[in-house]
Chain A
Amino acid sequence: MNRYPLWKYVVIALALAIGLIYTLPNFYGEVPAVQVAPVRTTQKVDSTLLERVEQALAQVGLKPTGITQDERSIKLRFADTDTQIKAKDVLQQALGQGYTVALNLLSASPQWLASIGALPMYLGLDLRGGVHFLLQVDMPRALERAAERYQGDIRTLLREKKIRYAHLTRERDVVTLRFREAAARDEARQAIARAYPELELREGASGEEFLLTVTLSKAAQVKVQENALQQNLLTLRNRVNELGVAEPVIQQQGVDRVVVQLPGVQDTAKAKEILGRTATLEIRMVDEEAMQDPARVQAAVASGQVPFGDELYYERNGQPILVKKSVVLTGEYITDAQAGFDQNNQPAVHINLDGRGARIFKNVTRENVGRRMAILLIEKGKTEVVTAPVIREEIGGGRVQITGMDSTEEARDVALLLRAGALAAPMEIVEERTVGPSLGRDNIEKGFNATLYGFAAVAVFMVIYYRFFGLISILALATNLCLLVALLSMLQATLTLPGIAGIALTLGMAIDANVLIAERIREELRNGMSPQAAIAAGYERAWDTILDANITTLIAGIALFWLGSGPVRGFAVVLCLGILTSMFSAVMVSRAMVNLTYGRAKRLTKVSI
């Protein structure tokens, strides 16, 4: 009765073998590496890049211990962190701005393991160090900006169609048109409805005037929000690429949030600065008429009496400047921006605009030669005039040069900002978790020690208390640990510090199944059953209980996973997986060992339990 058919042994052996193989990579540790990748995701890594990398390193006599290349990146392993850092600097200089060169840690496990997909567990930020940000996109602002665009479009449309209106105003995301005559309103209404079917139009009256209020339809609002989020995701991705992080995570969470995780980032201040830059760019015209009258400028500065349709800002050198409210171009039209030098060898930024942007820009510059246009940077409600160059001639083709940068450094910063694209709507950090690298190492060590000591204590107790059965239980428990780690490695689930605590806890709870079985066997023996029968009965009767007890814990684990976030989720994953592996190891594996030991004995008189 205590014999397993061959297939069961085979299944168990197979599970153990797979478990061992996939646990293996976790023992090799990590080696310092440098990761090279093109900034543009569309650009593939090819052999010429590899050659350049190898050449650059050979020139300074640095030799990587291993090189791996895939479509997205080249990874170079180094013997120690000193050479790693040196290599990073060398490569950064040799490759220039088009590539990110990042420090990374790679698993030191042999190639054959990696080739079958056996990777070490994916460590959470609290274990490897790094930054976690949760960013909230300011959706009301995104809607407002959409309304702003429509306001401009409607103005142009009405002008083209020669429809006369009295006022065109906007209050947050509601645009209101005022007409003197009902006929003009109806005409406008038809024209707008035809040109922009996504807008909702409502008529009204106010005294003598006929009103037309324009709002975005619900569907259009959703679309605006989706687009805003997508654009911000893209922008963040570009910015993170500029940062040079090896394995960044940038994901949407919910409808209006973005998670950014930057493992191994040491300079968190810099990371925050670049990510947190909620900058948007606007190009507007300077009100030259007003600027020519120093008294009006004075009045604006002194008493806030800004001419109608203007806003007062300050240039970098502190000079007040009056800028028109209407926006010519926003950052959305910018496709590329590079730092460089102008004809006089002064730092400058070269901008490329997309087709639509180029057209608008051409028209505006043609009409405004000799006047100044201001480039505004809006960060967290603070607007700064980056530069206000004079338009010398009509600029076509969408190639724009901005001069007047203080330094090459500034030119580079502005270019990065422009290139990374302006955000569709501002974002704010609503959650941040930063863990320094030394704390990460501490956490791993502490978590590992706690698990080890806990396991040892349980092992000693079990062997003393249940002797041979205790030994089997401990072997089963070790199997459980191995399978759990293998499963976590296979799924590449994120292991966090609470996750490690979860592993330890799972071990403590997993032994429960063995205790249940052993106690049951003892009881059956006391009741006078023969040893073989007692073993069989013990396993069978305990099964129901084990199942019931584990399912309730599983319910808790699943709810935790569903509702938890970050570290807690890591704990939940471990708890759930641990329950599954523990049922397998405590019941199947321990039974197999017992069967192999006692099952063949013809006349078993004594069980060591």
Chain B
Amino acid sequence: MSLELFRLKRDIPFMRWARSTIFFSVALIIGSVVLLATRGLNLGVDFTGGTVMEIGYPGAADIPAIRAHLAKNGYGDAQVQTFGRASDVLIRLPVKPGVTSAQLSERVIVVLRAQVPQAELRRVEFVGPQVGRELFEDGSLALLVVSIGIVIYLALRFEWRFAVGAIFATAHDIFIVLGVWSAFQWEFSLTVLAAILAVLGYSVNDTVVVFDRIRENFRKTRMTDVAAIMDNAKTATLSRTVITSGTTLMVVLAILFFGGEVLWGFAMALAIGIVVGTYSSVLVASPIVLWLGVSREDFIKPPRPESGAVV
């Protein structure tokens, strides 16, 4: 006999818990929004503009000494922290009017080498304030475009109520990831934004699988209780939902643990997004579709043959 995670005789009554799961989700969203409004995001240089330097030291770096040394040389506004391992140091410098970036990082490394001659400049990232603003705008635009694109696709392929449900569930995931980022004040960089867009795609993907089964059930069964139809669909796809999330999570955790510091934020955003996305695709998306009043008739209208979807 084969190995099975869920061997279920009866459908799980997910819809009966809808009230509490939605309440829980809405509470999380509100919490995230409050966090975002009060603490905001710790935007990285990609968006604010500024300079980041990664310096490799021969041994464990003495952070307070580096900080003091920089302050003594007129860089009191530099943030210094270790990066990944004890010998790597990350230095952040805000945009200085009048001083070009090119000069800034060169000057700082000269200062640092006066203290420890073997200091190695591993990486420099400078983003001008103008470019930073553009990256932020482009990123926000990307988020919006993707959301609209997905709504249109789902509205065409399924039904508008499903599109609304999916986008709500997805927005829920993104708000929570952003909320976590705000709560811990982790740096929000361009790669984190990329991860969030991937979460968007992934979360909708998960939701679509469930929706697909709901639609199939609508067409196949004579059941009229929409909630029961949804429960059946979700129970049938539960194994798949959990396994896929599990395998994707395995890979993401591999990136988180072995991918290095640069990818840490990317992997963390994905990991949170996958967990929340799995939850929302099962417990958040379909109750909304139900409350919006979807019914069997929406899918068995005469001019809609099996393959009549517009793609």
Q: B145 at interface (Cβ–Cβ under 8 A)?
A: yes
Which of B12-20, B122-130, B292-300 is the contact stretch? B122-130
CB neighbours of A505 from chain B (8 A): 198, 248, 251-252, 255, 270
**CA of A556 to CA of B249, assembled, Å:** 19
> B-facing mask of A419-461, CB < 8 A → 1, else 0?
0000000001111111110110011001101110111011001
- Contact A429 B204, beta carbon cutoff 8 Å: no
Q: B183 at interface (Cβ–Cβ under 8 A)?
A: no
Determine which of B121, B135, B260, B311 lies in contact with A442 in the assembled complex, contact meaning CB atoms within 8 Å. Answer: B260
Q: B118 at interface (Cβ–Cβ under 8 A)?
A: no
Q: A467 at interface (Cβ–Cβ under 8 A)?
A: yes
In chain A between 294 and 351, which residues have their CB closer than 8 angstroms to a CB of chain B?
A: none
- Contact A457 B194, beta carbon cutoff 8 Å: no
- Contact B247 A568, beta carbon cutoff 8 Å: no
Q: B153 at interface (Cβ–Cβ under 8 A)?
A: yes
CB neighbours of B248 from chain A (8 A): 505, 508-509, 511-512
> A-facing mask of B239-254, CB < 8 A → 1, else 0?
1100110111111111
Given A505-B198, A515-B247, CB of A523 within 8 Å of CB of B254: no
What is the distance, in angstroms, from B267's C-beta to the closest C-beta of chain A? Answer: 7
Determine which of B120, B125, B138, B149 lies in contact with A565 in the assembled complex, contact meaning CB atoms within 8 Å. Answer: B138
Most chain B beta-carbon contacts within 10 A, residue among A431, A436, A519: A431
In chain B between 237 and 280, which residues have their CB closer than 8 angstroms to a CB of chain A?
A: 237, 239-240, 243-244, 246-255, 257-260, 262-263, 266-267, 270
CB neighbours of B122 from chain A (8 A): 435-436, 438-439
Q: A355 at interface (Cβ–Cβ under 8 A)?
A: no
- Contact A276 B250, beta carbon cutoff 8 Å: no
- Contact B123 A552, beta carbon cutoff 8 Å: no
Q: B37 at interface (Cβ–Cβ under 8 A)?
A: no
Q: Which residue of chain A is the closest to B244 with respect to CB atoms?
A: A512
Q: A549 at interface (Cβ–Cβ under 8 A)?
A: yes
Q: B212 at interface (Cβ–Cβ under 8 A)?
A: yes
Interface of A is mostly: helix
CB neighbours of B216 from chain A (8 A): 541
Q: Which residue of chain B is the closest to A558 with respect to CB atoms?
A: B149
What is the distance, in angstroms, from A524's C-beta to the closest C-beta of chain B? Answer: 11
Given A434-B121, A450-B254, CB of A134 within 8 Å of CB of B247: no
Interface of B is mostly: helix
CB neighbours of A272 from chain B (8 A): 102, 106
Most chain A beta-carbon contacts within 10 A, residue among B3, B153, B194: B194
**CA of A552 to CA of B200, assembled, Å:** 9
Q: A201 at interface (Cβ–Cβ under 8 A)?
A: no
- Contact B142 A564, beta carbon cutoff 8 Å: yes
Q: B287 at interface (Cβ–Cβ under 8 A)?
A: no
**CA of A317 to CA of B285, assembled, Å:** 76
Q: A609 at interface (Cβ–Cβ under 8 A)?
A: yes
- Contact A508 B252, beta carbon cutoff 8 Å: yes
Q: B197 at interface (Cβ–Cβ under 8 A)?
A: yes
Q: B191 at interface (Cβ–Cβ under 8 A)?
A: yes
**CA of A129 to CA of B153, assembled, Å:** 40
CB neighbours of B150 from chain A (8 A): 552, 555-556
Q: Which residue of chain B is the closest to A133 with respect to CB atoms?
A: B102
Q: A551 at interface (Cβ–Cβ under 8 A)?
A: yes
Q: Which residue of chain B is the closest to A548 with respect to CB atoms?
A: B208
Most chain B beta-carbon contacts within 10 A, residue among A501, A504, A541, A568: A501
- Contact B128 A568, beta carbon cutoff 8 Å: no
In chain B between 200 and 243, which residues have their CB closer than 8 angstroms to a CB of chain A?
A: 200-202, 204-206, 208-209, 212-213, 216, 236-237, 239-240, 243
In chain A between 37 and 78, which residues have their CB closer than 8 angstroms to a CB of chain B?
A: none
Given A432-B125, A461-B247, A508-B251, CB of A498 within 8 Å of CB of B191: yes
- Interface size, chain A (Cβ < 8 Å): 79
- Contact B126 A557, beta carbon cutoff 8 Å: no
Given A439-B54, A545-B209, CB of A454 within 8 Å of CB of B255: yes
Most chain A beta-carbon contacts within 10 A, residue among B131, B157, B251: B251
Q: B32 at interface (Cβ–Cβ under 8 A)?
A: no
- Contact A553 B194, beta carbon cutoff 8 Å: no
- Contact A552 B255, beta carbon cutoff 8 Å: no
- Contact B247 A458, beta carbon cutoff 8 Å: yes
- Contact B193 A568, beta carbon cutoff 8 Å: yes
Given A429-B102, A431-B131, A507-B251, CB of A501 within 8 Å of CB of B209: no
- Contact B258 A450, beta carbon cutoff 8 Å: yes
CB neighbours of A554 from chain B (8 A): 201
CB neighbours of A380 from chain B (8 A): 100
CB neighbours of B250 from chain A (8 A): 454, 457-458, 461, 508
- Contact A551 B153, beta carbon cutoff 8 Å: yes
What is the distance, in angstroms, from B95's C-beta to the closest C-beta of chain A? Answer: 11
CB neighbours of A511 from chain B (8 A): 244, 247-248
CB neighbours of A449 from chain B (8 A): 258-259
In chain A between 493 and 548, which residues have their CB closer than 8 angstroms to a CB of chain B?
A: 497-498, 501, 504-505, 507-509, 511-512, 515-516, 519, 522-523, 541, 544-545, 548
Q: Which residue of chain B is the closest to A477 with respect to CB atoms?
A: B247
CB neighbours of B149 from chain A (8 A): 555, 559
Q: A462 at interface (Cβ–Cβ under 8 A)?
A: yes
Determine which of A549, A556, A563 lies in contact with B198 in the assembled complex, contact meaning CB atoms within 8 Å. Answer: A556
**CA of A572 to CA of B270, assembled, Å:** 15
- Contact B191 A504, beta carbon cutoff 8 Å: no
Q: A465 at interface (Cβ–Cβ under 8 A)?
A: yes
- Contact B201 A553, beta carbon cutoff 8 Å: yes
Q: B141 at interface (Cβ–Cβ under 8 A)?
A: yes
What is the distance, in angstroms, from B207's C-beta to the closest C-beta of chain A? Answer: 9
30 contacts across the A-B interface (CB closer than 8 A): A134-B131, A276-B100, A428-B128, A431-B126, A431-B127, A432-B101, A432-B102, A432-B127, A438-B120, A450-B254, A450-B259, A462-B247, A497-B262, A501-B263, A501-B266, A505-B198, A508-B248, A515-B243, A516-B240, A544-B212, A549-B209, A551-B153, A553-B202, A556-B146, A556-B198, A557-B201, A560-B194, A563-B142, A565-B135, A568-B193
Give the A-binding residues of B (Cβ under 8 A): 2-4, 54, 56, 100-102, 105-106, 120-128, 130-131, 135, 138-139, 141-142, 145-146, 149-150, 153-154, 157, 190-191, 193-194, 197-198, 200-202, 204-206, 208-209, 212-213, 216, 236-237, 239-240, 243-244, 246-255, 257-260, 262-263, 266-267, 270, 311
- Extra contacts, 10 of them, besides A552-B205, A556-B198 (Cβ < 8 A), are A432-B126, A454-B254, A457-B250, A461-B247, A467-B2, A504-B254, A512-B248, A556-B150, A559-B149, A571-B191
